[in-house]
Amino acid sequence: MAWPLSFPYPHAKDGYWEPVTSTLNWCEEDYYATPYAAEIVNTLTNLMFMWLGVQGILSCRRNGHDQIFSVALLGYLVVGTGSFFFHSTLKCKSYPMQLVDELSMIYTTCLMAYALFSYSRSTTVRIWLGISLASLAVFITLYYHYLQDPIFHQNAYALLTTVVVLRSMYTMEVTLRPKWRHSTEQDRLERQKKGLPVPTKERQHYENVRDIKMLKTMWFMVTYGLSMFLGGFLIWNLDNIFCSEIRQMRRKIGLPWGLLLEGHGWWHVMTGIGAYLYIVWGIWLRHCLNNRQDEYHLRWARFWHIPDVVRVSDLTQTKKST
């Protein structure tokens, strides 16, 4: 029996892009809403990827963030765009777009790995690191194309993401935690004995309080982002395992409530948010590594808002104008 304020699912229509020729098809039924999109929810949820990608690139240009993050956000935008066209058509001719959708954020994660591991390295190390990560991305793409086994790319993505996130956590702690970056009173006295530059007690106290506060927010962002990733991954897997049962449930409760049971769509939304949070975290961490914490501010009033790292000077001007 359908839920209140709902209506039955319509019968499948003749699709504009038919026949479906892709090697994979997800649990969402094809062409039930419009003949112009094979999987309407899986298509439209990519609009969030695309919107966040554009917003992030504009923010990088506006606030002077390092160029590598603009490239990473461009990759993020390409992922959403490719997935949009693939889910719209489900055609073999869009197989490159299918690969983009399935490989998901591997390319962007490789770019973030470069941003992390290339920091303060020599030109030679940066070149070799770039070649190595590009080779890894190509290998994962080609080997997955050969295997066509989703388990391979899921494991590769999980391993790569784990390495980058753990290393970022370590860098964050060493950079900002006072006891690790030699900002205690004892360290200050030791530097004074050696004739090294020593900040005043007031300045040291200010930096310690500032960085501890930043660490709390950063750890919340990390936890929130990982929760979105893992939650989306869980929902997607449940969608794959119990597809027939979920389709029956959708039909019983009707539209629009049945759309809430589109697991792959939730995967797009949750991984899109998680990946964007990670890129913003990387931008903020890079400014901390450059010792520019006082020049930038994380604008993130509520956890359901979209975070943005902005120049303090621009933020001050905006407040004055309002």
- The phi and psi torsions of 17 (rounded to 5 degrees) equal -100, 5
Average pLDDT over residues 212-226: 93
Q: What is the dihedral of CA 275, 276, 279, 284, to 10 degrees?
A: -140
Phi-psi region of 34 (alpha: psi -120 to 50; beta: other; left: phi over 0): beta
Residue ranges for the known binding site for Zn(2+) are: 87, 264, 268
- The phi and psi torsions of 310 (rounded to 5 degrees) equal -125, 155
Question: DSSP secondary structure string, 187-232?
Answer: HHHHHHHTT-----HHHHHHHHHHHHHHHHHHHHHHHHHHHHHHHH
Contacts of 221 (CB under 8 A, 6+ apart): 277, 280, 281, 300, 307
pLDDT tens track for 247-303? 999 999 998 899 999 999 999 999 899 999 999 999 999 999 888 989 999 999 888
63: pLDDT strictly greater than 90:
yes
Average pLDDT over residues 163-173: 91
What count of Cα atoms within 13 Å lies in the side-chain half-sphere of residue 209?
A: 6
For residue 93, what pLDDT is reported?
58
What count of Cα atoms within 13 Å lies in the side-chain half-sphere of residue 265?
A: 17
For residue 138, what pLDDT is reported?
87
For residue 1, what pLDDT is reported?
54
For residue 98, what pLDDT is reported?
63
Residue ranges for the known binding site are: 26, 28, 39, 87, 264, 268
For residue 90, what pLDDT is reported?
85
169-178 core/surface letters (b: 16 or more CB in 10 A; e: else)? eebbeebbeb
116 and 72 in contact (C-beta within 8 Å)?
A: no
Query: What is the chain's length?
Result: 322
H-helix or E-strand spanning residue 109: helix 106-117
Confidence of residue 188 (pLDDT cuts 50, 70, 90): low
Phi-psi region of 284 (alpha: psi -120 to 50; beta: other; left: phi over 0): alpha
Distance (Å, whole) CA 274 – CA 221: 9
Residue ranges for the known binding site for Ca(2+) are: 26, 28, 39
Phi-psi region of 6 (alpha: psi -120 to 50; beta: other; left: phi over 0): beta
Q: Which of 38-47, 98-107, 111-120 has the highest mean pLDDT?
A: 38-47
pLDDT tens track for 220-257? 999 999 999 889 989 988 998 999 999 999 999 998 89
Radius of gyration of the chain (CA): 23
Identify the CA nearest to 71 among candidates 125, 116, 108, 120: 108
61: pLDDT strictly greater than 90:
yes
87 and 39 in contact (C-beta within 8 Å)?
A: yes
42: pLDDT strictly greater than 90:
yes
Instruction: Pick the more confident residue, 225 or 195.
Output: 225
For residue 216, what pLDDT is reported?
94
Average pLDDT over residues 96-117: 75
Confidence of residue 78 (pLDDT cuts 50, 70, 90): confident
Question: Considering the entire predicted model, what is its pTM?
Answer: 0.86
For residue 281, what pLDDT is reported?
94
For residue 102, what pLDDT is reported?
63
Average pLDDT over residues 142-169: 83
Distance (Å, whole) CA 237 – CA 229: 12
Distance (Å, whole) CA 248 – CA 223: 34
Distance (Å, whole) CA 153 – CA 99: 10
Percent of the chain with pLDDT over 70: 87
- The phi and psi torsions of 165 (rounded to 5 degrees) equal -65, -45
Beta strands in the chain (DSSP E): 296-299, 308-311
